[in-house]
A and B are shown apart, each in its own frame.
Chain A
């Protein structure tokens, strides 16, 4: 079956612009996670959803970052007023339920802020 998909695969933007990153989880997966992978910080958790609710937003780096999930499916991560330090690969994962169920990762969106 289809895996986790993310779009766009690459995004180049100018400093100060807003960007939206999209994640389509595996059908039927109730939990959805966003992570960020950067050279300086490694792989770090950003936020997760159980259904449409986000019980833990503690990993969002600043209030410029927000995420939503609608219909228990697609999720969008929005970064407002992008900064160069936001350049990273943003990874999305989904699992059947939150907890110890296997998380299946998408290929990521590479964001470059000029």
Chain B
């Protein structure tokens, strides 16, 4: 079955430290992958997306993600975390063979930023 998995439910990181959030996908062909962020009481905001081409994707708020087909991964990174990055992060997936545009989400990773 097509799916995305986020192995880490919760991550705590110090302000200024680097952050990496893991996402693994299960799909036979090239998936379309997304990272969304949800701040408390807010809707989901798109950070970045990958469809094809360059495997390193730049997004908003200083985030980037790298698509690695050999590892079926699409990990999100930020070199230096700010307190405002505390939020829940969701990896999502859609495919051209599935209901067009229907997003399937991972379980999310809650990020806590400490001073």
Q: List residues of chain A with CB under 8 Å of any chain B CB.
A: 4, 31, 33, 35, 42-45, 48, 55-56, 58-59, 91, 93, 95, 98-108
Chain B: interface secondary structure? loop
Q: How far is the CA of A45 from the CA of B43 in the complex (A)?
A: 15
Q: Which residues from chain B sit less than 8 Å from chain A, CB to CB?
A: 32, 36, 41-46, 49, 51, 90, 92, 94, 96, 99-108
Q: Which chain B positions have C-beta within 8 A of A33?
A: 101-103
- Whether B49 lies near A48 (C-beta < 8 A) is no
6 nearest A-B pairs in the assembled complex, by CB-CB distance = A105-B43, A43-B105, A56-B99, A105-B44, A98-B101, A107-B43
* Contact in complex: A99, B108 (CB < 8 Å): no
Q: Could you list some 5 contacts between A and B, CB below 8 A? A: A33-B102, A42-B105, A56-B102, A58-B99, A99-B96
Query: Which one of B36, B43, B49, B107 contacts A42 once the chains associate, using CB atoms below 8 Å?
Result: B107
* A72 → chain B closest CB, angstroms: 16
Chain A residues with CB below 8 A from B103, complex form = 33, 35, 43, 45, 103
Measured CB to CB, the closest approach of chain A to B105, in angstroms, equals 4
